[in-house]
Amino acid sequence: KKRQMGIASFFARK
Amino acid sequence: MFEARLLQGGLLKKVLDSIKDIITEGNFDCSPNGLSLQAMDSSHVSLIDILLESEGFEHYRCDRNIPMGLNITNLVKMIKCAGSEDIVTIKCEDKPDNVTFLFESKDNDKISDFEMKTMTIDDEHLLVPDQTYTAVVKMPSAEFQRLCRDMAAIGDTVNISVTKEGVRFSTTGDMGTANITVRPNPSGDQKEEERTEVQITEPVSAGFALRYLNSFTKATPLSPTVTLGMVPNLPIVVEYKIADMGHVRYYLAPKIED
């Protein structure tokens, strides 16, 4: 089963 | 103050069509460099990044950075009132309560102005690093649109594998499976925008939700080609270049094996 990752976990916050 | 005059008003409609199914509100950031927007979808799975460079406008004036928070649904309604050949001017003050849209018909026989209320949007901006992609695929945007639509008829998730032989799109659903391989075609008689090109440093493979990829293809009218950029275990970028103006990019987080 594949889990959908959130986009914010890949990029730093500005 | 901010004032920008765009000769091809129809371009604004196309840009809005490319985001209206994904976000309902967003901050358009007006800066001396241009008009930009960064926004996540409501599930925070994908990120939209738009840039309309100041040089692409016939007239552009921006004295300081101004965040222009707008409801996208309302903005679409307003911009729909412009003719597709109209010249559109966007105007606002430094701390705007309202934004004015001025539509001039091509023959200059009709002038309309619409004023829209702004809203305060607290959104977090993400820092997208300048990335060297392990695999870059450039293909006709209409072909990518067709492919995403076909894949979505079969399954929910598409696995995209890029090797130097080509790009393989695979999906599985209740009714069965589907695989489509797109091969780089030799640069023969084809026009540049009809070619598929693959550049890789190593093979990459990852799974992505088709629902989002399908939404991204609403940007197809903006460009004859689309570029996919992949790095292992990082979001895919789907880029539509807007000629002489900038881009609409979408970043989509991968699905990871649990």
Mutate to test the interface with B, among A1, A3, A4, A9 (most CBs of B within 10 A): A4
Tokens of residue B200, six digits: 């890789």
Interchain proximity B255–A2, CB inside 8 Å = yes
Whether the pLDDT of residue B123 is over 90: the answer is no
pLDDT 10s digits, B141-196: 999 999 999 999 999 999 999 999 999 999 999 999 999 999 998 766 778 888 99
Whether the pLDDT of residue B246 is over 90: the answer is yes
Burial class (CB in 10 A: 0-12, 13-18, 19+), B195: middle
pLDDT 10s digits, B230-241: 999 999 999 999
Question: Which are the contacts of B186, defined by CB distance < 8 A and separation ≥ 6?
Answer: none
pLDDT 10s digits, B26-85: 999 999 999 999 999 999 999 999 999 999 999 999 999 999 999 999 999 999 999 989
Average pLDDT along chain B:
95
ipTM confidence: 0.96
Nearest-CA distance B49 → chain A (Å): 13
> What is the per-residue pLDDT for B187?
66
User: How much of chain B exceeds pLDDT 70, in percent?
Assistant: 99
Whether the pLDDT of residue B111 is over 90: the answer is yes
> What is the per-residue pLDDT for B184?
92
Residue B193 DSSP SS3: helix
Q: Which residues of A touch B128 (CB under 8 A)?
A: 11
Mutate to test the interface with A, among B128, B171, B172, B215 (most CBs of A within 10 A): B128
Beta bridge partners of B112: B103
Nearest-CA distance A1 → chain B (Å): 6
Alpha helices, DSSP H, located in chain B = 10-17, 72-79, 141-154, 210-216
Instruction: Give CA–CA dist B167/B182, Å, rounded.
Output: 5
> What is the per-residue pLDDT for A13?
87
> What is the per-residue pLDDT for B95?
87
